[in-house]
Amino acid sequence: MSNTIEAVNLLEIKLKNLLSNYDFLLKENELLLQNSSKLQHQLLENKQLLEQRDEQFKLLRIAKTIEGSDNSTRDTKFKINALIREIDKCIVQLNE
Protein backbone atom coordinates (compact mmCIF):
# COMPACT_ATOMS: atom_id res chain seq x y z
CA MET A 1 0.00 0.00 0.00
CA SER A 2 2.79 2.42 0.83
CA ASN A 3 4.41 1.66 -2.55
CA THR A 4 1.23 2.73 -4.24
CA ILE A 5 1.07 5.98 -2.26
CA GLU A 6 4.73 6.70 -3.02
CA ALA A 7 4.13 6.00 -6.70
CA VAL A 8 1.13 8.35 -6.72
CA ASN A 9 3.13 11.05 -4.91
CA LEU A 10 6.02 10.64 -7.37
CA LEU A 11 3.59 10.80 -10.27
CA GLU A 12 2.01 13.96 -8.81
CA ILE A 13 5.44 15.62 -8.45
CA LYS A 14 6.40 14.72 -12.01
CA LEU A 15 3.05 16.01 -13.29
CA LYS A 16 3.53 19.32 -11.47
CA ASN A 17 7.02 19.61 -12.97
CA LEU A 18 5.65 18.89 -16.44
CA LEU A 19 2.91 21.50 -16.04
CA SER A 20 5.43 24.02 -14.75
CA ASN A 21 7.73 23.34 -17.71
CA TYR A 22 4.78 23.57 -20.08
CA ASP A 23 3.77 27.00 -18.72
CA PHE A 24 7.37 28.20 -18.93
CA LEU A 25 7.69 27.01 -22.53
CA LEU A 26 4.41 28.67 -23.50
CA LYS A 27 5.61 32.01 -22.12
CA GLU A 28 9.01 31.60 -23.74
CA ASN A 29 7.39 30.73 -27.07
CA GLU A 30 5.19 33.83 -26.87
CA LEU A 31 8.22 36.03 -26.18
CA LEU A 32 10.13 34.47 -29.05
CA LEU A 33 7.21 34.99 -31.41
CA GLN A 34 6.97 38.65 -30.39
CA ASN A 35 10.70 39.08 -30.86
CA SER A 36 10.54 37.40 -34.25
CA SER A 37 7.71 39.68 -35.28
CA LYS A 38 9.67 42.77 -34.22
CA LEU A 39 12.75 41.58 -36.09
CA GLN A 40 10.75 40.88 -39.24
CA HIS A 41 9.27 44.37 -39.03
CA GLN A 42 12.74 45.90 -38.61
CA LEU A 43 14.02 43.84 -41.53
CA LEU A 44 11.20 45.09 -43.74
CA GLU A 45 11.90 48.69 -42.72
CA ASN A 46 15.61 48.23 -43.42
CA LYS A 47 14.90 46.73 -46.83
CA GLN A 48 12.67 49.66 -47.71
CA LEU A 49 15.30 52.11 -46.51
CA LEU A 50 17.94 50.31 -48.53
CA GLU A 51 15.77 50.47 -51.64
CA GLN A 52 15.20 54.20 -51.10
CA ARG A 53 18.91 54.83 -50.62
CA ASP A 54 19.73 52.74 -53.67
CA GLU A 55 17.27 54.76 -55.75
CA GLN A 56 18.73 58.00 -54.41
CA PHE A 57 22.21 56.77 -55.25
CA LYS A 58 21.17 55.94 -58.81
CA LEU A 59 19.59 59.36 -59.22
CA LEU A 60 22.66 61.06 -57.81
CA ARG A 61 24.89 59.09 -60.12
CA ILE A 62 22.73 60.07 -63.10
CA ALA A 63 22.75 63.69 -61.98
CA LYS A 64 26.53 63.65 -61.65
CA THR A 65 26.84 62.05 -65.08
CA ILE A 66 24.51 64.61 -66.65
CA GLU A 67 26.37 67.39 -64.86
CA GLY A 68 29.27 65.95 -66.72
CA SER A 69 32.88 66.56 -67.17
CA ASP A 70 35.11 66.41 -70.19
CA ASN A 71 35.67 62.68 -69.77
CA SER A 72 32.04 61.75 -69.16
CA THR A 73 30.34 63.24 -72.23
CA ARG A 74 30.30 59.84 -73.88
CA ASP A 75 29.04 58.20 -70.68
CA THR A 76 26.32 60.83 -70.43
CA LYS A 77 25.11 60.02 -73.92
CA PHE A 78 25.03 56.32 -73.09
CA LYS A 79 23.09 56.97 -69.88
CA ILE A 80 20.56 59.15 -71.68
CA ASN A 81 20.11 56.52 -74.39
CA ALA A 82 19.67 53.82 -71.72
CA LEU A 83 17.05 55.95 -69.96
CA ILE A 84 15.21 56.53 -73.24
CA ARG A 85 15.21 52.77 -73.95
CA GLU A 86 13.89 52.10 -70.44
CA ILE A 87 11.14 54.70 -70.91
CA ASP A 88 10.23 53.14 -74.27
CA LYS A 89 9.97 49.71 -72.62
CA CYS A 90 7.67 51.16 -69.96
CA ILE A 91 5.48 52.76 -72.61
CA VAL A 92 5.24 49.44 -74.49
CA GLN A 93 4.24 47.67 -71.26
CA LEU A 94 1.60 50.29 -70.54
CA ASN A 95 0.15 49.92 -74.02
CA GLU A 96 -0.21 46.13 -73.65
pLDDT in single tens digits along all 96 residues of the chain: 688 888 899 999 999 999 999 999 999 999 999 999 999 999 999 999 999 999 999 888 877 766 665 566 777 778 788 889 989 888 888 887
- CA dist list (Å): 10 to 1, 2, 26, 27: 14, 12, 24, 26
Q: Sketch the domain layout of the chain as residue ranges.
A: 2-68
CA atoms within 13 A on the CB side of 55: 6
Q: Does the global pTM surpass 0.75?
A: no
- 74 vs 62: CA distance, rounded Å: 13
pLDDT computed for residue 69 by the predictor: 59
pLDDT computed for residue 68 by the predictor: 60
Spell out the residues 6+ positions from residue 83 whose beta carbon is closer than 8 angstroms to its own: 62
